[in-house]
Structure 1
Amino acid sequence: MGRTTYQPGNATRRAIEAEAGVVVGNYHPLPVVLEKGEGAWVTDVDGREFLDALSGYSAVNFGHSNLQIIRAMTDQAMQLGLIARAFHSANLGPFCAALAELTGMDMVLPMNTGAEAVETTIKAARKWGYLVKGVERDRAEIIVMDDNFHGRTSTIVSFSSDPDARDDFGPYTPGFVSVPFGDAEAVRRAITKNTVAVLTEPIQGEAGVVIPPASFLPELRQICDDNNVLLIVDEIQSGFGRTGATFACELVGVQPDLYTLGKALGGGVYPVSAVAGKREVLEVFTAGTHGSTFGGNPLAAAIGLEVISMIRTGEYQQNAAERGRQLRDHLVELQKQFPDLLLGFRQIGLWVGVDFNPDLVTGRQVCEQMMSNRVLIKDAHGSVVRISPPLCATEGDIDFLCIALSKTLEQLRAG
């Protein structure tokens, strides 16, 4: 298997050739060179249109070239871009207040990338453990999950179970204990007097949209409460409507002690991340103990404010839920038609992980064939493929995606 009819155009070939030898090969992109985007659709340098069913790993939840976000960005850019946190800026307070209200938290610490937000929570949890909980200095432990993905910094890959992300980057940062995702009892057994936090994604995106039992987060909340341990939930991919709720935690009625947020918070146009959390935790940071030149800059705050105003309407969450049901119904039928190829799937909101038969096809082959049928998706590991269109995707967009998937399965079966 592995058939594809896609042939790169001349402009595409030239653009890809221009990267050779100068762009570090830390990615293996599909052979498509994108130039423009609007809504759920993108156009390559040869003028061909594709449905974007990846959404920048959920960074483009509100669609490409969203005019509401673009106006907020350009209006602010014409006034003031960066001043650094050496000074106050007019919209930092409103941005942090709006995000605190949206998350139900007390305080917000703005950063830039998701990995920086996760690093911030690691530092906060450790310092809280020493200053508040009374853990012995330099003995703090954080419980994490197998198959997690929280970024690629040297500290974060120290507790990754992905060999591509971790191997040959040692020595590794100590202080992390990994347990199976979704197993609350394993978390309970792993807690010691030195445990300061449990760090988890509510749904594991990079692992293939792995959804834990509905009881998992509520049980973690109770375990953390019973043991004076912080619960940190990474909603960088799952947040801002992707699951059909503003945050995945809401689906099971859980409030963490710290949220890590990013990706969609920047509206698909600018890197914006943040930690939202309880006052007694985030107040361990004092002047000089943590910072970022760009974090919370006027441009980032203006974009973040606009994103919050958009997500407050509820329309993106509703559309994610409705289009997610539509996509699920199509997948159920496709699984019946192609049981040899499509083994199963996991779906929550407009976020799906599809399992293909590893004996017949790789995830990369599926993505290449889908590209030939004008839909862009991304493989996870092995034969798993992720589907996550922008939350503005229409009923017609989802029908197009599923027709392309049906055609892809027919082509792969035919060889």
Structure 2
Amino acid sequence: MNSFRAVERSLLQMTLLAGPGLLLGWALGHAGFGLAAGLLLFAALQMRQLLRLQHWLASRQLHAPEAQGAWQPVFDALERRRKNERRRRRVLLDALESFRDAARALPDGIIAIDDSDTIHWFNKSAKRLLGFRYPADVGNHLTHLVRSPRFVQWLGDARRDEVLMDLPSPEDERVRLLCRLIAYRPGFRLLIVRDISNLMRLEQIRRDFVANVSHELRTPLTVINGYMEALEPEEMGEFAPLFVQMRQQSRRMAHIVEDLLTLSRLEAQSVPVDDPVAMQPLLTAMLRDAQALSAGRHQICIEAAVDRDLRGSGKDLHSAFSNLVVNAVRYTPDGGSIRLRWDTTTDGGAAFSVIDSGQGIQAQHLPRLTERFYRVSNSRSRDSGGTGLGLAIVKHVLNAHDARLEIESRVGHGSCFRCVFPAARVLAREAALGDTA
């Protein structure tokens, strides 16, 4: 209704300007010129209103100037819109400031970076944990401030969904950090940094305890096993079945202690081994061990058409691969097949796979297989003679070689355990031989 009245007023204004011009022009014998002069004056007034509107829109003033005719509802509508926009903007700014206050109060360091790893914002905890300075460090490249080679390599790794553990703080090496990258908008990511010093101290206490207990158990178990081996079941009479069971359990306990000591040694390694490891002899040794353990009960073969070797620890890799091969022999029924495969990956890396036609493992168990003493069933490891630590050893060895363990399994069809090594760990066979020489 207001708009209709404003249009009426504009038409009335145009009539009041054009009418006298028409009459005056008619009186002078030039009616057309008089009408044109009146319309031109009306247009000038509209242009004046348009200029006032343009000036107001370009300004930061909240209230619109007075307008005439049909322009009044336009000015009023734009004024209401500007007020609403300012109100919404104030609400958004308050919400943004509230979120920033919450981020500043978090005990974890939060750093906003773009795809080029340039710092755009960080909270107070990032200053404390990483020694950043505000605003001097905003706009700097992240690796110019955190120069740890492990951190730089992790930041540039394609698999950025993985966390970086036990990073020493640039401010204090006694402070140990955990780092995680989270994508939160196109072209930007959040780096979350958490102080895990207490957790690492507790983990060190646990490792020391396991290592010390294992060492203390090793000597008495060696003595017990020695006596057990010296006796024969035939000499025990009616106690022969009990004696056989005691011997089996003492051997199993000794194997558990040895595996615990192996895990302790792997966890205590701070400097990664970087020696060339020839894969052909290692694969041959795996095949020989598997055939000896199988005693002709399985079909075992090697599939290795790749002349690639690895860089790392030959002893640890032998231990990891051997655990996978032994598991395959133990859990594959008689007459089944076991394949040891060595091939390349699409990104220039390499992979060692153990593929069996065994019982298979249900999907819900796969994520937990590398946990210590985790069993798919209560009797599975005990019946097969396993310690429950083999895959934990595999996981630690692969972590030390920047590799990962992939597990695929179907119940009734078998399993595939695949050790995937990055391209940086792979050597051409000629280069490996040259380094060895």
TM-score bracket for this pair, using the shorter chain length? under 0.3
TM (norm. structure 1) is 0.24
Higher relative contact order (CA 8 A, sep 6+): 1
Larger Rg: 2
Q: Write 1 or 2 for the structure with the bigger share of helix.
A: 2
TM (norm. structure 2) is 0.24
